[in-house]
Amino acid sequence: MASVLADSARPVPASGYGIAGRRAVPVDTLTRLGITVAVLLLFAVSGGMLWLLGYNYEGLQGSALTKIHPSTYLVVLVFAWRSCTFGNPVGYVVNVTNRRPATALLAVIATVLLLVVIVRQRPGMAGMIDTFVAPALFVLVLSEDDEKTFARLQLVIHAVMTVNALLALFEFGTKHLVFPYRFDGAVFVNDPRSTALQGHPLSNATVTLIYVLSLLSGARSLSTPLRLALVGLQFCALVAFGGRSAMVLTVLLGSVYLLTRGVAQLRTGRVNLLAAALVTMLAALLPLAIMLAGYYGFFDALLERFVSDNGSANARVQMFDLFSRLELRDIIVGPDIDLLESTRRISGLEQGIENPIIRMTLYQGAFFTLLMFFGFALFMHEVARRCHPGIWLPMLGWLLIINTSESLASKTTLMTKFVVIALALYRPARERSDSFLKPLPGRRS
């Protein structure tokens, strides 16, 4: 009897057992490959690239099936395949739900609200899937903490983001967009900003902001000189993308983090000589680099974006006036779409409502928005708990930047990209999984 009680008290590793105490099936090669390819498609394939392949992702015309990103389709297939290789599909769903309950809750909320949107015939059906269901599925399939999978994802993220930055600088220098942003095939000719691999310039700026902050406080598998070099490259690309909010947040949050870390390091009384020499050299070369960049007109586009914002600031003020033209019932459950569209255009908001909470409240109703915000908050908290403490830096930047555009209130893959970067680049130190092999204190072996 004592032996049975001792065995039941023995600690069990999180990844060692599945449902009902059965040892979980190791992640197979096909699952690893599927997750890796899905992340590659997520970061490297934009709507402009899909249009060239005959796939109208960012427009209104064409089949409804093309309004969902290929990476979402693939992660659904990976989830289904993994549930089958697990041996018990229902047991697999219960297993990953137990590991990531808040993530499963977000997926359920998004699915229920998707059905409500379909029944009410309101806009945003594909947005529910790509914006909320896809990131939840990615977190669930990554919940088994397979080290080989995360190692591959880190390589994919660094490689794609480096190519993305180089392509942005090439487009900036040549004034030629390789994969321009298209809406039903129409190119926005009055927007010369780089589009690179992420599609829209603001999407590029958001992902680059997250990646730069992650390089500063995460990405521990890379050496410090390489991380600093990548930060410099990405910041140059950020200028090419022209995202004002992203640039301000990158400089502000990055400077605060580096200053805090520098002061903390000096207080220890131990300074790395190589790092000190590198910082001194960069400080000496920085004025020269700024002068050369200014001479060749590198900051002209940046200054133009701050001087002329194409009405963005005015739109963020006028969007609050829409509430005064709606009844309380319409605000709670959502107004008539035709009435809202007409009111929006009359108010001079042709480019959209540049805040996710305001937009979702106006189009879907306050009850709908509150429920989704509840699931989103729990989801972000759960993702942060699975990362090492430095995640606060990109998390803060992410939460601030998404409130400067429609972001999560429309169809986007930005949240999926954020959670993949967070889980891959802020992977905590691997815990020893063989502790259950040691005898318990006081137990005779």
φ/ψ of residue 291, rounded to 5 = -65, -45
331 exposed, middle or buried (CB, 10 Å; 0-12, 13-18, 19+)? middle
| C-alpha dihedral sign at 112, 118, 122, 127 | positive
What is the chain's pLDDT, residue by residue, as a tens digit (445 residues)?
Answer: 444 334 433 333 344 444 444 455 788 999 999 999 999 999 999 999 999 999 999 888 888 899 999 999 999 999 999 999 988 899 999 999 999 999 999 999 999 989 988 888 777 788 899 999 999 999 999 998 899 999 999 999 999 999 999 999 999 999 899 999 888 888 877 788 899 999 989 999 999 999 999 999 988 889 888 998 999 999 999 989 988 889 889 988 998 898 888 777 667 766 666 666 666 666 665 666 666 555 555 555 555 555 555 555 555 566 677 777 788 888 888 888 878 878 777 766 666 677 888 889 888 889 999 999 999 999 999 999 999 989 999 999 999 999 888 889 889 999 999 999 999 999 986 543 333 333 334 444 3
What region does 271 belong to: left with phi over 0, alpha with psi -120 to 50, or beta? beta
The model carries a pTM of 0.84
* The two three-digit tokens of residue 113, written as one number: 């609200």
Contact 42, 160 (CB under 8 A): no
Task: Name the amino acid, one letter, at 221.
Answer: S
Q: Between the CA of residue 353 and those of 50, 258, 373, what are the distances in Å? A: 26, 34, 18
Task: Name the amino acid, one letter, at 268.
Answer: T
